[in-house]
Structure 1
Amino acid sequence: MIQHRDIDSAELLARIENVPFSRWHAKARIIVGSATFFDAFSALSLAFALPVLISLWNITPTQSGLLIAASYVGQLAGALLFSWLAEKFGRIPSMTAAVALMSAMSLACAIAGNFPTLLVFRLVQGIGVGGEMPVAAAYISELSKARGRGRFFMLYEMIFPVGLMATGQIGTWVVPAFGWQTMFLIGAIPGLVVAFLLARLPESPRWLISRGRLGEAEQIVRQMEASTGHTVSTASEVPVSSPGKVERSRWGEVLGRSYRSRTLIAWTLWATAYFITNSLNNWMPSLYNTVYHLGLRQSLRAASMTNVAQVLVLLICAFTIDRIGRRNWTAVAFIAGGTALTILGFVGAESVRSVMILGTFSYGIIGSINAVLYLYTPEIYPTRMRAIGTGLATSWLRLASAVGPPLVGFMVGARGIDSVFLMFAATSVVGLLAATRMIETRARRLEEIAS
């Protein structure tokens, strides 16, 4: 039996930093990535069911916006709830519960018979959708070593836009052929299977160390080392400020003197990037159909290309982020995406071809910021508050995403589509200003960044 007094937390953290990527990491990344895939599927499934429901249930533009916003309100609550649970009970139990709730409510959405019922089900489903991602980001980040952490994490994070892309491709084919309910059924059953697999993953060793459970952390670190097939050296530097006692998380610490600046910058980045991308992602199918009068299948196919663009951009990002850095990538992405949106706002929105090209480009490049933020935010907080810090940050994306769709619906009706793109362009300027204030985290140990 392993004795706690014989185990040093600093040594354990050093051993985690020295374990190379192995099948142990691959298994964890695949299973958590599967959960994130169905998180993306559940988040976007309504966008491809909505064009049918608008005519089937005589849904107004305002009701459409409320239906989209309800999910984000639930996601806001879920991000806060499950992040708190992750700090108190662990990353794995929290993730498992979030995915189980998300999948069960996807099944409920499939049997909804009217607008009010679907509104309630999407609200509750959003709690699970919002809870999975911040906890998953904290977990994957805590398994990573400093060198190559950006690529390791981004290859996992690519699963989310792949899920969005798959939702688009599946929705384009399934909804016209089999009905809108099929979209929700597809997200339900596999999601419950993934919840079962999540429950069998080992807990984050960094979280166990922060809770003083050194014996359990030691066992997991041994498993990580054994999976490499050779002896792992522990001779490198010991991480800075390694914990020597049980660490308790406090919500207020996120805005304390040590973390206030990085927190406010992160919140601004989350709000601006997701205000643009989630508004575009949820409204584009309906805009193509109602504003540009494309057929249903054409509208869904055109909208789905935005997610293809995001996957391609993220592939480039994954292999360059550790060289370019988080701050430089984010700033350049806001500049490029904002420029495309400005062109659309002034001269391009009259042509559906221009919207397809520039709208897809702007979504793809600004959408890469979303993934970078899931990498960056867990990096800037210590383990004791990593999930809470990430959850609070993602709550701003939920708030921005809840406000965005109804606002887009109002502005399209009141001022036209040009005004929507100009609003997004102005938002990208705010995001750019925040990006210039980011701290650079590439190639730095989590414990060093937190100190």
Structure 2
Amino acid sequence: MARQTVGAVVGDARLNGFHIKVLIMCSLLMIVDGYDMVSYGTVITHLMDEWRMDPVTAGTLGSVALVGMLVGGLFVAPLADRYGRRPLMITCVTIASIASFSCALATGPAQLGVLRFVVGVSLGALVPNFNALAGEIAPRRAKALFVTLVSSFYSVGGIAAAVFAIYIEPLWTWRGVFYVAAIPLLMVPFLLRHLPESPDFLAARGDRERLLVVLRKIDPAAELDDVVVERSTAAGKARLRQLFAGGNAINNVLIWVFFAMCMLLSYGLNTWLPKLMQTAGYPLGSALWNLVVLNLGGMVGAIAGGWIADRWNYRNTLVAYFVLASASLIGLSFNPNSVVLNVLLFVAGAATVGVLAIIHAFAVEYYPAAVRSTGVGWAAGIGRIGAIGGPTLGGALLALELPFQQNFIAVAVPGVIGAVAVALVAGKKFRTPEPERAAAS
């Protein structure tokens, strides 16, 4: 009888309750990320009034959490390749929730900035790892769908932040939005009991006993006596240099570019859309509902993108999404009537927030298990440079007092750059360095 690989067991498994439970846990963690990141955009108008901040200062403060995500993605997320996804994820969601709740107690920009930085570091390490876990437990034909389904719940968190802002701020002021951020702490006992470790991580570590426990949950009917469990030569020493060995350098840089462009679009819009719409003459309540429409589109776009990518390919799906993002933003620049405005906002959300989900699915598929947290973490981390630029760019544009049309045209440019980067890299494979291939054979 031929020996089975871990990938074959996972890939051939039929969807069952274990898959659904892991998807639910990862999706709830993505809601936490979406809520914590969008919440600042819902209170920025109040903070500018109360603390008398100018747009550039407010935009810089909005970028602090994204700087934290950069640090978390680059230096904390890769620790999962050494210590495992499970302990890192549980630790990060705990710290993020405590720090985000503490934002409600801030008395000035400096305190809020420090707390938002801590939130960002925790989320920057958390997101690449639960996206990776979702892909690692997925059946072969549903990998992209699993990751994008999880990623789509970012929009649920964003919608929740906007809705809470509309109904809670009049009662508890802007601080109420951050009080709600403590709720995810209730999930921690459940995660401790039910969150599994990554089967790919356990295989790379040669931990056969724990691996078989997870595989039996993934496929209860599988015969596992002949499963190959070989410790990876890269296990325990994943480094950035491995991402650039074997001719992978150009592809890695291109991946970083389209991560950055995608995050610039997504985080820039979620931070400044209410304020941009106010400058066009819309009342604050209406502008916050625009944020809801944007994130509803993001949820639909992410799920649809995963389904399309599994049946088409990543390259064409990503290029189409980036082009659609630019086109919809240019359409918004013409200050359309309310019906067209909401349609364009929905499409813009589907394309900008949706593409954020698809690029994570692409990265999970592109990088091999031994360096997956490092690869996805660095891609998401470098992408935060674009995310940092989003709020900062929005603040700078508002400070220039440009016409409404020019603001949205400027925001559309990153979509074109992202489409070009995707076209150059998508469809290619990560090249394992020759020494590792030889050791594995």
TM-score under structure 1 length normalisation = 0.87
Which stretch shows the higher mean deviation, 426-435 or 415-424?
415-424
Cα separation, partners in 2 of 1:70 and 1:352, compared to 1, 3 Å: farther
Cα separation, partners in 2 of 1:169 and 1:100, compared to 1, 3 Å: same
In 1, distance between residues paired with 2:268 and 2:351?
Answer: 15
Q: How many residues align?
A: 429
Amino acid at match of 1:341: L
Contact 1:11 1:234 in 2 (8 A): no
In 2, distance between residues paired with 1:151 and 1:445?
Answer: 21
Which stretch shows the higher mean deviation, 95-104 or 255-264?
255-264
In 1, distance between residues paired with 2:78 and 2:223?
Answer: 35
Calculate the aligned-residue CA RMSD, in Å: 2.8
Aligned position for 1:197: 190
Contact 1:262 1:380 in 2 (8 A): no
Contact 2:85 2:133 in 1 (8 A): yes
Structure 2 counterpart of 1:94, from 70, 88, 96: 88
Contact 1:146 1:445 in 2 (8 A): no
Structure 1 position 335, deviation (Å): 1.7
Aligned position for 1:57: 51
Aligned position for 1:332: 320
Deviation string, structure 1 residues 389-415 (Cα, Å, up to 9, x no partner): 001001122111112212221123223
Is residue 406 of structure 1 aligned with residue 399 of structure 2?
no
In 2, distance between residues paired with 1:196 and 1:79?
Answer: 25
Is residue 250 of structure 1 aligned with residue 243 of structure 2?
no
Matching of residues 258-407 of structure 1 within 5 Å: 258-289=247-278, 291-345=279-333, 348-349=334-335, 356-407=342-393
Deviation string, structure 1 residues 321-352 (Cα, Å, up to 9, x no partner): 2112211111111222212333445xx14878
Contact 1:382 1:446 in 2 (8 A): no
Which stretch shows the higher mean deviation, 430-439 or 132-141?
430-439
Contact 1:105 1:125 in 2 (8 A): yes
Cα separation, partners in 2 of 1:131 and 1:245, compared to 1, 3 Å: closer
Structure 1 position 65, deviation (Å): 0.5
Amino acid at match of 1:133: V
In 2, distance between residues paired with 1:372 and 1:317?
Answer: 6
SS in 1 for 2:41: helix
Amino acid at match of 2:368: P
Structure 1 position 254, deviation (Å): 1.1
Deviation string, structure 1 residues 223-248 (Cα, Å, up to 9, x no partner): 3333xxxx236799x99xx8554533
Contact 1:69 1:403 in 2 (8 A): yes
Cα separation, partners in 2 of 1:28 and 1:313, compared to 1, 3 Å: same
Is residue 419 of structure 1 aligned with residue 406 of structure 2?
yes
Structure 1 position 32, deviation (Å): 1.8
Structure 1 counterpart of 2:76, from 82, 91, 97: 82
Structure 1 position 67, deviation (Å): 1.3
Aligned position for 1:435: 422
Aligned position for 2:222: 232
- Unpaired segments ≥5 residues, structure 1: 1-7
In 2, distance between residues paired with 1:420 and 1:78?
Answer: 30
Which stretch shows the higher mean deviation, 426-435 or 163-172?
163-172
Amino acid at match of 1:429: V
Structure 1 counterpart of 2:164, from 151, 170, 193: 170
Contact 1:61 1:409 in 2 (8 A): yes
Which stretch shows the higher mean deviation, 430-439 or 10-19?
10-19
Contact 1:341 1:425 in 2 (8 A): yes
Cα separation, partners in 2 of 1:244 and 1:303, compared to 1, 3 Å: closer
In 1, distance between residues paired with 2:431 and 2:330?
Answer: 38
Deviation string, structure 1 residues 86-133 (Cα, Å, up to 9, x no partner): 111100011111101100101210111222211111111111121110
Structure 2 counterpart of 1:122, from 113, 116, 120: 116
Contact 2:73 2:124 in 1 (8 A): yes
Cα separation, partners in 2 of 1:284 and 1:438, compared to 1, 3 Å: same
- Unpaired segments ≥5 residues, structure 2: none
In 1, distance between residues paired with 2:224 and 2:67?
Answer: 46
Cα separation, partners in 2 of 1:73 and 1:352, compared to 1, 3 Å: farther
Contact 2:301 2:349 in 1 (8 A): no
Structure 1 position 158, deviation (Å): 1.8
Cα separation, partners in 2 of 1:126 and 1:416, compared to 1, 3 Å: same
Deviation string, structure 1 residues 284-337 (Cα, Å, up to 9, x no partner): 112222x12332222211222111111222333243321122111111112222
Is residue 161 of structure 1 aligned with residue 189 of structure 2?
no
Amino acid at match of 1:282: T
Contact 2:68 2:117 in 1 (8 A): yes
Aligned position for 1:184: 178
TM-score under structure 2 length normalisation = 0.89
In 2, distance between residues paired with 1:343 and 1:295?
Answer: 21
In 1, distance between residues paired with 2:335 and 2:172?
Answer: 33
